[in-house]
Amino acid sequence: MSFEGVLRMEYTINKLAKMAGVSTRTLRYYDECGLLTPRRTSANGYRVYGQAEIDRLQQILFYRELGVELTEIGRILSEKDFDGQTALISYLSSLRDKRERMDMLIANVEKSIMAMKGEVEMSDAEKFEGFKQKLIDDNERQYGGEIRAKYGDHTVDRSNAKIKGMTKEQYAEAEGLSLELNNALKAAFDQGDPKGELAKKTFELHKRWLCFYWDDYSQEAHKGVAQMYVDDPRFTAYYDKNAPGCAVFLRDIVHYFCT
């Protein structure tokens, strides 16, 4: 087959699904939501994909692997200045960061096993280094751009430094506080009063949780973060896992008790 023939190769939905490791149902859904439209439809009604669609599917799967929501992927790929090569370079960088985090966790587990065997000594702080670094890296990957644009590099870097300096007890307390916050938010939401006692408890828990990561607390910054939970669909999705509308409800709570 000539090189030109390879470039013109087409795939039915079944062949593309098998090659890409996804289901035909997924490809149909991508078509329905406008994320990946087939090159053409055959006479017998089958979706047929060409080289451009294959390249686009590769980009979609790359972004999905990074945890990007489908609506955000569609927006990214639809931008006029979208460059596939630049996107791949960025993805490669993200993969290397992910590998570095995994290597750190593997080293941490290996040393923990050796410490249990009595072969080496391991401080309590060392046991949590990998987890704290993973938390920082995950936050940077998911929200770093928006947070840095809104609050500046200096503020974010100070927050990351505070996370690194957490003791084992502080780290565990922050994790427990996050769970307690979500439970309190759900209870307040079910009650339906953003000014009530349950809402006040939610506000205080959220403030305490923020102070684990902030050097300086301010009501204006607190309100700004709560508004971002509503404006950014990724934050909204996190809080709306409790119940649809929880992100807006938390914003209303924070704005009321900060006023």
Which segment, 91-95, 139-143, 192-196, is predicted with the most confidence on average?
Answer: 192-196
Res 194: pLDDT: 95
Q: What is the DSSP track for 205-251?
A: HHHHHHHTT-SS--HHHHHHHHHHHHHSHHHHHHHTTTSTTHHHHHH
Question: Where residue 128 falls among pLDDT bands split at 50, 70, 90?
Answer: low
CB-based contacts of 223: which residues, under 8 Å, 6+ apart?
254, 255, 258
Residue ranges of the chain that CATH labels 1.10.1660.10: 3-78
Angle in degrees, CA 249, 253, 256, rounded to 5: 135
Residue 6 has pLDDT above 60, yes or no: no
Q: Structure tokens of 144?
A: 């770093």
* Mean pLDDT, residues 158-186: 83
Which segment, 58-67, 109-118, 146-155, 247-256, is predicted with the most confidence on average?
Answer: 247-256
Pairing of strands 40-41, 47-49: antiparallel
Of residues 134 and 69, more confidently modeled: 69
Residue 46 has pLDDT above 90, yes or no: no
CB-based contacts of 82: which residues, under 8 Å, 6+ apart?
76
Residue 164 has pLDDT above 70, yes or no: yes
**Whole-angstrom Cα distance, residue 58 to residue 9?**
16
67 φψ region: left (φ > 0), alpha (ψ -120 to 50), beta (else): left
Res 142: pLDDT: 63
Describe the crossing of helices 13-20 and 51-65 by its angle, rounded to 10 degrees: 40
Q: Are the CB atoms for 237 and 69 separated by under 8 Å?
A: yes
Question: What pTM was estimated for this model as a whole?
Answer: 0.47
Half-sphere exposure of 193 (CA within 13 A, CB side): 7
Q: Structure tokens of 158?
A: 């100070």
**Whole-angstrom Cα distance, residue 37 to residue 47?**
9
Q: What CATH number matches the domain at 167-259, 3.40.50.300, 1.10.287.70, 1.10.490.50, 3.30.479.10?
A: 1.10.490.50
Q: Are the CB atoms for 191 and 198 separated by under 8 Å?
A: yes
Computed over every residue of the chain, the mean pLDDT equals 83
Residue 124 has pLDDT above 70, yes or no: no
**Whole-angstrom Cα distance, residue 199 to residue 257?**
9
Per the listing, tokens 């995994």 go with 102
Of residues 100 and 144, more confidently modeled: 100
pLDDT 10s digits, 47-104: 999 999 999 999 999 888 877 788 888 888 888 888 878 877 877 877 787 787 778 7
Res 132: pLDDT: 66
Q: Structure tokens of 189?
A: 């939401």
Residue ranges of the chain that CATH labels 1.10.490.50: 167-259
3-78: CATH class: mainly alpha
Tell me the percentage of the chain whose pLDDT exceeds 90.
Answer: 36
**Whole-angstrom Cα distance, residue 93 to residue 84?**
14
CB-based contacts of 146: which residues, under 8 Å, 6+ apart?
228, 232
